[in-house]
Amino acid sequence: MTIERSSSVDLPSMDILRSITHQPTVNTKMSELSVNKPSEIKSKKSDEQIHATQEMSRIITDPTTGKCYCRGKVLGKGGFAKCYEFTDLATGKVYAAKIIPHTRVSKPHQREKIDREIELHRVLHHRHIVHFYHHFEDKDNIYILLEYCSRRSLAHILKARKVLTEPEVRYFLRQIVSGLRYLHELEILHRDLKLGNFFINDSMELKVGDFGLAAKLEPVENRRRTICGTPNYLSPEVLNKQGHGCESDIWALGCVMYTMLLGRPPFETTNLKETYRCIREARYSLPSSLTSQAKQLISRMLAKSPVDRPSLDDILRHDFVTQGFTPDKLSASCCHTAPDLHHTSPAKSFFKKAAAALFGGGKKDKAKYLETLNRMAKEEEELTRLRNDLRRTSISQPCSRQTTDDCSKPPVAPVSARPPALSKEAVANNRQQLRDTVRLIVRGTLGSCSTSSECLEDGTMGSVADAVTKVLRGCLENMPEANDLPKENMGCSFQWVTKWVDYSNKYGFGYQLSDHIVGVLFNNGTHMSLLADKKTVHYYAELGQCSVFSTGDAPEPFVGQVTVLKYFAHYMEENLMDGGDLPNVMDTRKPRLYLLQWLKSDRALMMLFNDGTFQVNFYHDHTKLILCSRSEEYLLTYINEERVSTTLRLSTLLASGCSVELRSRIKYALNMLLQRCS
């Protein structure tokens, strides 16, 4: 249900307050009432008022922003805090809120621990890491607002299921490794990996959470030697006070894998002292019910010496992960019952051809892959899932609208600070130099190629991105402050993305341009375009090698990709609407525009094209930025919440400035571009 933004969030409605503070009726004996004195009755009313006041604390106000939240059910408990369901009363958005009473962190080292957790977690942005949204405090508590995971945790799933199947373990293991690799690349140790800290969202995606014990990786001589974590998952070197390294997280991951497959931790005993003895000796059993590949991977991760344990990449390359079937997605029913992952049915042309072509290799490889594919769900279920996935990712899908202030919050990579104030003459010179630079970049870097293949070959992803970065950074640093957009609105036609679909978990990223050309950037790095005539295909391999053929006469290796391309085109045509009021320009000539790279953050989608066109779509308010080059100058188009577009020359922005609203979006777009390879 779409919830419109409220004009005021200072006070919740009286209906909400009444429903929250409503108390159940308490039956009282008539004899007790008949002997009560007036003073006693007054005392009873006072108690009821106090109780009602305590219930009113379910409405919590952020003193810094004035936003009101409703505290719901308890989601979990920890050493310092409880986690509650938290609902923003203005937007209806649900969070998981970690609430820490000030009384529990009254000592300096306790408060430092909470502050350290906040500072570490707030900068993390990854698909498989619980997202940090906001934190604030009032006179009673500290509140940390986190991503809400409706399926709770792997611990809850295992409690209901007792054990998981190998395909499920591979599914979750891949996602844990993805999140953990992100942390280790940032030199962050989690130090408390366990099933209860792996949270599952509504789409059955895993998110690593709870960074209360996380710490930065130190050199060997300075590593932390305190024993912390959950007893069953502690590594020998931690117990022996030899310090924490990435290898300690690998050990805990081995314990997690063992627990998922067998329903109990590997070193669990009747008393803690014996458990620690088994850990120090790396002594555990591997039941015959485990496959040989599972035994091998577990034994490597639970090696007594840290140097003998595999890296995260080694885990992903292990036969247990690569040779067994891994589902693309799990049903929510897996939370309480084992999935049916071996149902066979006749696979028809679409998925057979697509799978065979995308997999590649010889006839034996294709037959093996198709055999695996046939063990998955019925084709009808596959098609339904594909349609549902595409529908969820479309830009035209309604969503709860949030304040546009979110768009001003940049990702991790910072924009360089504004330079010191300059004289008017210096500022004018800087702006003129930037205008000249813009023209040189357009003419020299992006305008020197005569064909699409030459553009990709000469203007590589790095050079195109660097050119756009230079222009945007220069614009932000030299543009004067202003309250409104300049009056100029250029009447210029150019190609831009009107529709898009992210199905990269299986095939790739698809989009439709304003001239009705449909493109797909496949997961293997190749690109395919279907021209507006719906018959001609342009296939781009590495280094801009372009092949042209018709849809009805596609070479055998490309049949599957052409099928996927046609399906994406049909879906976007039938189900998605255009994203703004710019005219759709028809052009049946050879396409010059195709996608080099795309990136999604929690707030926006970035798309970078071979000719320097750079587009950013903001999810929550559906605003868009499009930067493109025409006639040796860059143009910036802004499509606002009402889907009305304004096209400006960058030279005009440098002279006149722009609104805070547009500046914040340009800043966010630049930061997405800066972190495209992170």
- Condensed to tens digits (0 to 9), the pLDDT of residues 473-492 reads 888 888 888 888 877 766 66
What are the φ and ψ backbone dihedral angles of 500, each rounded to 5 degrees?
-150, 160
Measured distance CA(451)–CA(653) in Å, rounded: 31
Query: 544 lies in a domain?
Result: no
- Residue 116 near residue 170 (C-beta atoms within 8 A): no
Predicted pLDDT at 256: 97
Joined together, the tokens standing for residue 533 give: 């005539």
Measured distance CA(408)–CA(529) in Å, rounded: 34
My answer on whether 160 and 307 are in the same domain is yes
My answer on whether 138 and 181 are in the same domain is no
Helix (H, G, I), strand (E, B) or coil at 115: helix
Residues 6+ apart with CB under 8 A from 245: 189, 217, 220, 223, 237, 306
Measured distance CA(528)–CA(518) in Å, rounded: 8
My answer on whether 167 and 278 are in the same domain is yes
pTM of the predicted structure, to 2 decimals = 0.47
Query: 73 lies in a domain?
Result: yes
Query: 70 lies in a domain?
Result: yes
DSSP string, 366-408: HHHHHHHHHTSS-HHHHHHHHHHHHHHH-TTS------GGGGG
**Each residue's pLDDT tens digit, 370-417:** 554 454 433 444 444 444 554 444 333 333 333 333 333 334 333 333
Residue 283 belongs to a domain with what CATH number? 1.10.510.10
Predicted pLDDT at 221: 57
My answer on whether 136 and 84 are in the same domain is yes
My answer on whether 142 and 170 are in the same domain is no
Predicted pLDDT at 230: 79
Measured distance CA(93)–CA(87) in Å, rounded: 6
My answer on whether 290 and 184 are in the same domain is yes
Joined together, the tokens standing for residue 96 give: 């998981």
Nearest Cα to Cα of residue 216 among 182, 254, 189: 189
Which of residues 298, 329, 360 is at a domain's end? 329
Beta strands 518-522 and 508-513, pairing class:
antiparallel
Helix (H, G, I), strand (E, B) or coil at 674: helix
My answer on whether 169 and 117 are in the same domain is no
Predicted pLDDT at 57: 74
Looking at this protein, which amino acid is placed at residue 496?
Answer: W
Q: What angle do CA 175, 161, 79 make, to 5 degrees?
A: 70
Measured distance CA(224)–CA(246) in Å, rounded: 12
Which of residues 147, 166, 195 is at a domain's end? 147
Residue 470 assigned ligand-binding role: no
Query: 398 lies in a domain?
Result: no
Query: 454 lies in a domain?
Result: no
Query: 457 lies in a domain?
Result: no
My answer on whether 167 and 266 are in the same domain is yes
My answer on whether 215 and 232 are in the same domain is yes
Query: 400 lies in a domain?
Result: no
- Residue 636 near residue 648 (C-beta atoms within 8 A): yes
My answer on whether 582 and 491 are in the same domain is yes
My answer on whether 125 and 226 are in the same domain is no
Residue 93 belongs to a domain with what CATH number? 3.30.200.20
My answer on whether 164 and 142 are in the same domain is no
Question: Which one of 88, 192, 210, 249 is the catalytic residue?
Answer: 192
Specify the number of domains making up the chain.
4
Owning domain of residue 363: 349-393
Q: What's the average pLDDT block by block, 10 residues per block, for the chain (678 residues)?
A: 34 35 34 36 45 60 92 85 92 94 88 91 94 94 95 94 94 95 93 94 94 82 62 89 88 96 92 91 92 95 95 93 89 89 42 46 51 45 48 38 36 38 54 52 34 37 81 86 77 82 87 92 90 90 76 87 89 71 47 81 89 90 87 83 84 85 91 73
- Residue 591 near residue 452 (C-beta atoms within 8 A): yes
Query: 387 lies in a domain?
Result: yes
| CA distances to 288, 484, 596, 610 from 460, in Å | 53, 36, 9, 8
Catalytic residue check, 578? no
Joined together, the tokens standing for residue 157 give: 């799933």
Measured distance CA(150)–CA(87) in Å, rounded: 13
Which H or E run contains 605?
strand 604-609
| CA distances to 23, 483, 607, 651 from 648, in Å | 59, 16, 20, 8
